[in-house]
Amino acid sequence: MNAIEAWNLTKTYKGGVRALDGLSFAVDSGTIFALLGPNGAGKSTAVKILTTLSRADGGEARVAGLDVLCDADRVRRAIGVVTQRPGLDPDATGRENLEMQAEIHGLRGARRRERVGELLERLGLRAAADRLAKTYSGGMQRRLDVALGLVHRPKVLFLDEPTTGLDPEARAELWQEIERLAAAEEMSILLTTHYLDEADRLAAELAIVDRGRIVAAGTPDQLKRELQGDTVQVELVEAADGNAAATASRVSGLEEVSVDGRRLRARAANGAAAIPSLITALERNGLAVASATIARPSLDDVYLRHAGRSFQHADTATDREPSEVAA
Amino acid sequence: MTALRHTREVALRYLRALLRQPTWVGISLVQPVIWLLLFGALFKRTADIPGFAGGSYIEFLTPGVVVMLAVSTAGWVGMGFIDDINRGTMDRLLVSPIWRGALNLGSVAQSVLSIVIQSAIVVGLALLVGARFDGGLAGVAVLVVVAGLLGAVFASLSNGLAVLVRQRESLIGAVTMVTLPLTFLSSALMQESLLPSWIRWIAKFNPVNWAAEAGRSAAGAHADWGLVATRSGFLVLLLLASAAFATRSFNAYQRSI
C-alpha cells in the first residue's frame, strides 16, 4: 500500500496565484520521499492539503489509505506534521507542549508520562523540559516541533522544510535523527526541502516540483544517471551574452549549453577533453575565462534539465555548496 | 468525554499563559476596583435624581460594573487566537484530531473563569463600601452566571472575528467600537426609566442590557424570575449561535490558506 497518493491536485489562491497545477505522486510505505523545489514551487501547499489543513480546488489525495477530505479526522490520527513555521506554544514549557499534544491524541496517565519522557530524552530536551519553549534555541525549538509530531507514533510523518533556518550543526543532527526515525519506527516520511543535498542524503525517492507540477521523479541515482557524462562549468570575467552561448555550442562534444550571469554551463561525455577546446574557443572570441570546473552530475543538473533553469536562479535562498572537481 | 478533555486542555493552556504574565494578572485584579470606585464616585449623585428607585448608587452600579467587565474582558480573548495563528500553533492544532469546538470553548472557559474572579472582587468590594444585596448569595450567584454567559458570547464573537481578520489592529478596532457603545446603550450605569426613550428602545435588543437587567434583578430585593429566565434564555441562544460562528470560522480560514 502507498502511504501517500496524490492525483492531479490543483490549487489557486485568491489573487490568481496557481500554487498547484496538477500535482501527482505516490509515496511507498516505510520510505522517505522528498519533494524538492525552490521556494514557491508549491511544496508547502501540497503538504497543507495532504495534512488536511487546506483544501485542494481539484484532484484527490489519500494518506495512510484514507481520503483527506472525507476522512479528515482519521487522517489526522495517522499523521505527524512538522512544518517550517514552528507549531509549538512558546508560552508553555517543552513538557507541557508535549503533554497537551499527547492528550489530544488520547494518551493518558502513565502512558502519556512515559511517552513524553521518552521523546524529551531522545531529542535531547530533558534538561530543558520544564523551561518555557520561547527560551529555547532555534535548534531546540525545531527538535521540540519534531517531538510534537511524533507523540502518537504516526504512520506517516510530514517534514516541511525541517532544517530551514538551522545552523549546519543543528541540521546535521536533525538529519541523523530523521534517518534513525525512518529506520527504527516503520514510518513513511514525506520531506519537502529546497536543499538539494538534503534530498540527496535522506530520500529513497524524490520528485522535483516546479511551478506546481512534478517535472521529474525517481531515486536520486536514477535521476542523476539520466544525465550521462560530466557538467562543464566556466566562469567568465564579464557577464556572458549570446556570443558566449553560440561559441560554446560550436565546440564539439558539448551539449545543452546554458548561460546564467557570468556562468556558462554545458554537458559533455568527457569533460576533461572538452574543456581545453572550450576555453580556446571562448578566448579566441574575446571572452576572458576566470575559472573552469568539471563536476559529476548533481541534483542541481537534474533540476536545471527538467525545470529549464538553474536551481540557484530559481531560489536565491539556497546555500548549496556544489561538490565540484577543479579542472 | 473527548470533547470535554480537549476543551479542558485548551483552557488550561490559555490560563497557564495568562498566569505567567504577572502584569496582566495585576491589571485584571485592580481594574474592577478602579471601575467600581471611580464610577461610584463620579455618578454618586444619580441616586438623588427624582425617579431613581431607592438604594445607593453603588448598589445599583455593582451589577452594571460586573456586566461591563465581562464584556471588556471577553472582547480581547480573540487576541490569543491571532497570536496562535501567527505563530503556527493554530495550524498544528488544526492538523491534530482535536475536537474543533474545543478551540473556542477552551478559550471561552478561560475567559469566563477570569470574569467570575473579577465579579467576585467587584461584589466583595461593593459590600465593603456598604452596599447590600437583598437577593442574597443565590441572587449574586445568578448575577455572576449571567455575566459569565454574556462574557462567553463576546469571547466567542471575538474568537470568530479574530480567525476571520487575523490582524490585531482590526480586532482592537472592532472591540473598541462595539463594547463601550453597547455598555452605554444599556441600563448598566443608569436606571432604565431614566434613559432617553431611543436608548431604551435599542437596549431591548442589546445583550449587555439583557445581562444587566437579569443580574440586577436577581441580586436585588424583589427578583423578577420571569425576566431573569427570559434574558438568560436569550443569552444562551446567542451563545449557541456565536460559538457555532467561532468554530465555523476555521472553515473559512482553512479554505483561504
Of A53, A81, A96, the CB nearest to B16: A96
Query: Which positions ≥6 away from A178 have C-beta within 8 Å?
Result: A32, A159, A162, A189, A191, A202
pLDDT value of position A315: 54
Does residue A153 contact residue A119 with C-beta atoms inside 8 Å?
A: no
A with B: how many residue pairs have Cβ under 8 Å apart? 69
Does residue A208 contact residue A220 with C-beta atoms inside 8 Å?
A: no
Q: Cα separations (Å) of A254 from A229, A236, A248, A269?
A: 10, 17, 7, 8
Does residue A135 contact residue A55 with C-beta atoms inside 8 Å?
A: no
Q: Kindly list the structural domains of chain A, giving each domain's residue range(s) and its CATH number in brackets, ordered by start.
A: 2-222 (3.40.50.300), 224-326 (3.30.70.100)
Q: What is the pLDDT of residues B4-60, one digit of tens each?
A: 999 999 999 999 999 999 998 999 889 889 999 998 898 888 888 888 886 788 999
What's the pLDDT band for A313 if we cut at 50, 70, 90? low
Higher-confidence residue of B164 and A179: namely: B164
Domain coordinates in residue numbering, chain B = 2-251
Is A148 near chain B, with CB under 8 Å?
yes
The verdict on a CB contact (< 8 Å) between A88 and B89 is yes
Higher-confidence residue of B213 and A242: namely: B213
Does residue B80 contact residue B218 with C-beta atoms inside 8 Å?
A: no
Average pLDDT, chain A: 87
Does residue A143 contact residue A124 with C-beta atoms inside 8 Å?
A: yes
d(CA A238, CA A78): 55
d(CA A244, CA B239): 72
Cβ neighbours, 10 Å, residue A287: 20
What's the pLDDT band for A33 if we cut at 50, 70, 90? very high
Residue A207: closest CA among A219, A189, A195: A219
Q: Which residues of B are less than 8 Å from A86 in CB distance? A: 87-88
Share of chain A above pLDDT 90, in %: 48
The verdict on a CB contact (< 8 Å) between B97 and A77 is yes
A79 DSSP assignment: E
Of B88, B97, B255, the CB nearest to A86: B88
Q: Report the amino acid identity of residue B94.
A: L
Overall average pLDDT of the B110-114 stretch:
96
Of B92, B254, B256, the CB nearest to A81: B92
pLDDT value of position A256: 83
Would the pLDDT of A20 be above 90? yes
Q: Which residues of A are less than 8 Å from B98 in CB distance? A: 104
d(CA B133, CA B142): 12
Q: In what order do the strands lie in the sheet with A230-236?
A: A254-260, A263-268, A230-236, A289-295, A325-326
Overall average pLDDT of the A77-89 stretch:
93
The verdict on a CB contact (< 8 Å) between A54 and B255 is yes
Name the pairing type of β-strands A289-295 and A325-326. antiparallel
d(CA B257, CA A187): 27
Is A105 near chain B, with CB under 8 Å?
yes
What's the residue count for chain A? 327
Query: Which positions ≥6 away from A94 have C-beta within 8 Å?
Result: A120, A125, A128, A129, A130, A131, A133, A136, A144, A147
What's the pLDDT band for A90 if we cut at 50, 70, 90? very high
Q: Which of A8-22, A216-230, B157-171, B234-248 has the lowest mean pLDDT?
A: A216-230
The verdict on a CB contact (< 8 Å) between B88 and A106 is no
Query: Which positions ≥6 away from B120 have C-beta within 8 Å?
Result: B144
Q: Which of A15-29, A295-309, B66-80, B237-251 has the lowest mean pLDDT?
A: A295-309
The verdict on a CB contact (< 8 Å) between A51 and B6 is no
Among chain B, residues having any CB pair with chain A shorter than 8 Å are 2, 5-6, 9, 12-13, 16-17, 20, 84, 87-89, 91-98, 254-257
Q: Which of B8, B96, B257 to mutate to test the interface with A (most CBs of A within 10 A)?
A: B96
pLDDT value of position A325: 31
Q: What is the pLDDT of residues A53-80, one digit of tens each?
A: 999 999 999 999 999 999 999 999 999 9
Angle subtended by helix axes B57-75 and B168-184, to nearest 10 = 160
Q: Which residues of A are less than 8 Å from B97 in CB distance? A: 73, 76-77, 104-105
pLDDT value of position A79: 97
Would the pLDDT of A324 be above 70? no
Overall average pLDDT of the B186-215 stretch:
94
The verdict on a CB contact (< 8 Å) between A85 and B256 is no
The verdict on a CB contact (< 8 Å) between A105 and B93 is no
Query: Which positions ≥6 away from B188 have C-beta within 8 Å?
Result: B63, B64, B65, B67, B68, B208, B209, B212
Q: What is the pLDDT of residues A149-196, one digit of tens each?
A: 999 999 999 999 988 888 888 888 888 888 888 787 779 999 999 888
What is the chain B residue with the closest CA to A71? B97
ipTM field: 0.91
Partner B, chain A 117-136, Cβ-Cβ below 8 Å: 132
d(CA A180, CA A86): 22
Overall average pLDDT of the B152-169 stretch:
97
Q: What is the pLDDT of residues B211-233, one digit of tens each?
A: 999 999 999 988 999 999 999 99
d(CA B188, CA B146): 13
Higher-confidence residue of A34 and A221: namely: A34
Q: Which of A12, A48, A53, A63 to mutate to test the interface with B (most CBs of B within 10 A)?
A: A53
What is the chain A residue with the closest CA to B6? A104
pLDDT value of position B53: 80
Would the pLDDT of A292 be above 80? yes
Q: What is the pLDDT of residues A121-150, one digit of tens each?
A: 988 999 999 999 999 998 899 999 999 999
Q: Which phi-psi region, left, alpha or beta, contains residue A296 (left: φ > 0; alpha: ψ -120 to 50)? A: beta
